[in-house]
Amino acid sequence: MHDTDLILTLTAGLAAALVLGYLTHRMRLSPIVGYLLAGLAIGPYTPGFEADFSLAQQLAEVGVILLMFGVGLNFHIRELLDVRGVAVPGALVQSGVATALGAVVGHLLGWGWSTGLVYGGAISVASTVVLVRVLSDNRDLHTRPGRIAVGWLVVEDLLTVAALVVMPALFGDQRLGLEGAAWALGIAAAKIVALVAVAFLVGGRVVPWLLERVACTQSRELFTLAVLVVALGIAVGATKVFGVSMALGAFLAGMIVGRSEFSLRAASEALPMRDAFAVLFFVSVGMIFNPLAMVEAPGALVATLAIVLVAKPLAALGIMAVLGYPLRTAMPVAVSLSQIGEFSFLLASLGKTLGVVSDTVLNSLVATAIVSITLNPLIYRSCDAITGWFTSRRAVPALPTDDESEPAPVPRHRTVVVGYGPVGQTVTELLLDNEIEPTVIELNLDTVRRLKAFGVNAIYGDASRPEILDQAGITTAENLILTSGMSTVDEEIVRCAKEINPRIHILARSHYVRELPRLRKVGAEDVFSGEGEVALAFTTRILERFGATGDQIDRERARVEKTFRNG
């Protein structure tokens, strides 16, 4: 019976998330809204099928681990250092303001100071998924405001990780006093230091060695399995051996893998599994949402929305104005952070486990997440209009031109080459000889290392993954060349490339003539087959031996090319 309940809960959760996530996506909203509504649909507060909440929570725990692993994997200290002058003080001030307001509101609503602090911390942190999605959809991810917003959110994520670590010491069963809490925090800090030392000194060597051994097998399944074992293994070890949260262990595991040369492939291989379990995490959160409770106590929802949609953006605008940033840079950053998501739920879920957070608080957070995530893309698209209105009304002094908000210049004539076999090698050399910058995507780790040693841009990973194509610079490349001749794989690469950059020109190779129409149908402009090129060479050589003129040879060559082009 338990197995049946598990299958029903898993199937119902994913199916509802698929339907509602698709509908919200078509409405140009974040699919997270759909996932939360899916949880409501299969939860106890709506009629119809009711999923097993305890099983959904267990599955969601895996999603939490993989979410934190992804955060660690994508945490790049260099990106943070580039914008540290605004991201660090900005995140600290904004988080402090939101947490303090949350604590005051919680106290006024009768929740108590402890609950208010957790509640305030939960509404102080924005959703990474939503922020990146909004910036990407508006092509602002690689602009100055985009880099600041991402760096800002990285600091918020680090503050959240710290909060997840210290909350058990502050709000655990023993309810320690200030002195006891300080002692407990000191012990927790010592355990964290020991965990970090072991993770980076031992894991920093063992994990890359393990992944390299598995990568040599050329098996995608084994590599994915290895990444999951590393993420789950370090997370569980952090809890069992060092007594800290699995979230922190997963974050460190992501950082270890992220520092290795397997980071891009690990991200692309682990993303499908991470996304599936992360969906279940949002579904489990939606299952606890009781709409009637919001009707009975609307004050909590109004106060939470006011902090997230008004107080947080104003705090961000204020700190950026003090630091001397113009409104056209500050406004997109402030608006992109005016929402809450996955990390808010992580803090609230831990607070509920510790007995600090009530169902009313959780309901307020879920409702606020749904509203803020829904409104955020719409408000962000109005940033220019809002900025222009303020400027025209002279609500702010004349602002300097923010040249840094323009995207960084990219080299002209860039081409992405997939595969570095004999064909890929020749193509890459010809591109370099003609001053066209190639970026090679290759699954052979030794080849990638060799190319990098010679100064050639090379990415280790599977080109059928959108993340790998994006890292290779597909958005700014003029051409994409597929050299392997594996048509089934190449079809998926062509689809992904055209979705990311519809203007890119794709040249593909196939072994057989019958594969040409399929590659052209999915978007490849030029496709060359081994069979066709050999036949063309034979025809040309025969005509030359029979003394045909140049015009005759060209005419026959065109006819043969047309025959093979039509498949």
* Mean pLDDT split into 10-residue runs, the chain, 567 residues: 73 92 86 88 88 80 79 71 84 92 91 90 85 75 80 81 76 58 68 80 85 84 86 84 75 82 76 77 84 80 92 92 88 91 83 86 87 86 79 50 45 81 86 86 87 88 83 87 79 86 86 76 80 70 75 72 57
Beta-carbon count within 10 A of 517 CB: 13
Residue with tokens 């078509």: 26
Give the separation between CA 264 and CA 20, rounded to whole angstroms: 30
**322, burial (CB in 10 Å: exposed 0-12, middle 13-18, buried 19+):** exposed
Q: Give the pairing of strands 505-510 and 457-460.
A: unpaired
Beta-carbon count within 10 A of 23 CB: 14
Give the separation between CA 548 and CA 542, rounded to whole angstroms: 9
Domain annotation for the chain: domains and CATH numbers: 58-390 (1.20.1530.20), 414-565 (3.40.50.720)
Asked if 165 and 244 count as a contact pair (C-beta separation under 8 A), the reply is yes
- Coil, strand or helix: which one is 482? strand
pLDDT attached to residue 319: 92
pLDDT attached to residue 5: 76
pLDDT attached to residue 410: 46
Give the separation between CA 34 and CA 285, rounded to whole angstroms: 12
Give the separation between CA 482 and CA 469, rounded to whole angstroms: 12
Q: What stretches of 354-439 show up as alpha helix (H) in DSSP?
A: 359-380, 383-392, 422-433
Give the list of residues 6+ apart from residue 226 with CB closer than 8 angstroms, or none: 210, 211, 214
Asked if 98 and 162 count as a contact pair (C-beta separation under 8 A), the reply is no
Asked if 330 and 397 count as a contact pair (C-beta separation under 8 A), the reply is no
pLDDT attached to residue 181: 56
Asked if 438 and 415 count as a contact pair (C-beta separation under 8 A), the reply is yes
Among the listed residues 447, 449, 443, 506, the one whose alpha carbon sits nearest the alpha carbon of residue 474: 506
Asked if 56 and 283 count as a contact pair (C-beta separation under 8 A), the reply is yes
| pTM attached to this predicted model | 0.66
Among the listed residues 342, 347, 351, the one whose alpha carbon sits nearest the alpha carbon of residue 153: 342
Query: What CA–CA distances, in Å, run from 376 to 3, 298, 359, 461?
Result: 40, 21, 25, 33
